[in-house]
Amino acid sequence: MGLFDKIKQAFTGNKPEEAPAEDKYEAGLEKSRSSFSDRLNALFANFRTVDEDFFEDLEEMLIEADVGYQTAVTISDQLREEVRLKNVKKPEEVSQVIVQKLVDLYGESEDSEDNSLHYAESGPTVFLFVGVNGAGKTTTIGKLAHQLKEEGKSVLLAAGDTFRAGAIEQLQEWGRRDGVPVVATEAGGDPAAVVFDAVKQAKEDNVDVLLVDTAGRLQNKVNLMKELDKIKRVIVRELPDAPQEVLLVLDSTTGQNALSQAKEFNQTTDISGIVLTKLDGSGKGGIVLAIGNELHVPVKLVGLGEKMDDLQVFDPTKFVYGLFKGLIDQPANATETD
């Protein structure tokens, strides 16, 4: 059974009184869901028959929906074959087939990926956050620190972004808000020295989780990557099994640019997972499909709103249903012919 059928069975087989309450994914992905449906409906409105022009416009629509070029071409090619075999004539008959193929293609990439966050078996767990300035690293760290503390874990923050104006103060404010300590130095200081002090304090205080902020000056890519490598060496020297996660934070509102950033970081940094922020504020949720199908790096956290608990551990099933809800709920008659 493909991911599409599993989701349809799990979410649409309930009686109305038993249907699950609106999930954060449904609310947080409303703009993306609406954007995709609007694009699909606009495509169908322009065609009365399924021909080569239809497939070319379909590819363009999927690329504009941020599902990625490779994904768009794969879906279009698979759909061409299915339309030929089943002799489908009307564009509206392929609506659910498009969604089904998107979902199942994503499901295939997710089968081999681990979306869970990993913690140390003993001693401090270290999560290292990387990404360009403005992606939401510091806010993500602040929200995650709050959630970890609510779970009863002790948390320490390291202000490793010593270059961006106000970055240290921003993390310190999150520390005050969360009630967790922050290891910091003056602006312009050595990030690796800050991380060394933080790891040392985490060991001495037997802290459960150390969250490390880093700089994001991608315009100085070579220097940035050297800096991140130095930070990792400092961590490994003190805690050989750390960091347990190297999380790349991406701003989902930037769409394909976020995918380009992910490819760039993935070439030079050993990324274990991705955090997608601001999904509620954009219509670009399709970028998760592009990341899954083109990068094969698991998404581990998603930002679905401004509240503390709107930072969610990534659930592929809930995400896909939240993105395609109305289309998945349609009767399964997409491939029937007259």
Domain boundaries, the chain: 3-113+323-328, 125-315
Determine if residue 278 is labeled as part of a ligand binding site.
Answer: yes
Determine if residue 133 is labeled as part of a ligand binding site.
Answer: yes
CA torsion sign for 266, 146, 254, 195 is negative
Determine if residue 138 is labeled as part of a ligand binding site.
Answer: yes
Distances (CA, A) of 93 to 44, 150, 269, 298, 331: 10, 48, 44, 33, 11
Determine if residue 303 is labeled as part of a ligand binding site.
Answer: no
**Residue closest to 230 by CA, chosen among 91, 329, 128:** 128
Per-residue pLDDT in tens (0 to 9) along the chain, 338 residues: 677 777 777 666 554 444 343 578 888 989 988 888 888 888 888 888 888 898 999 999 988 888 888 888 988 898 888 888 878 777 777 877 888 888 887 777 666 678 899 999 999 999 999 998 889 999 999 999 999 999 999 999 999 999 888 999 999 999 999 999 999 999 999 999 999 999 999 999 999 999 999 988 755 677 888 889 999 999 999 999 999 999 999 998 888 888 888 888 887 788 999 999 998 887 788 888 888 878 888 999 999 988 888 899 998 888 888 888 877 766 554 444 33
CATH architecture of 125-315: 3-Layer(aba) Sandwich (3.40)
Determine if residue 143 is labeled as part of a ligand binding site.
Answer: no
Determine if residue 217 is labeled as part of a ligand binding site.
Answer: yes
Determine if residue 131 is labeled as part of a ligand binding site.
Answer: yes
Determine if residue 38 is labeled as part of a ligand binding site.
Answer: no
Q: Please enumerate, as own/partner, the contacts of 60-66 that have beta carbons within 8 Å and a separation of 24 or more.
A: 62/286, 64/39, 65/35, 65/36, 65/39, 65/286, 66/255, 66/256, 66/259, 66/284, 66/285, 66/286, 66/287, 66/290
Determine if residue 230 is labeled as part of a ligand binding site.
Answer: no
Which of the listed CATH numbers 1.10.150.120, 1.10.540.10, 1.10.3810.10, 1.20.120.140 matches domain 3-113+323-328? 1.20.120.140
Determine if residue 134 is labeled as part of a ligand binding site.
Answer: yes
Determine if residue 279 is labeled as part of a ligand binding site.
Answer: yes
- Tell whether pTM > 0.75: yes
Determine if residue 309 is labeled as part of a ligand binding site.
Answer: no
Determine if residue 137 is labeled as part of a ligand binding site.
Answer: yes
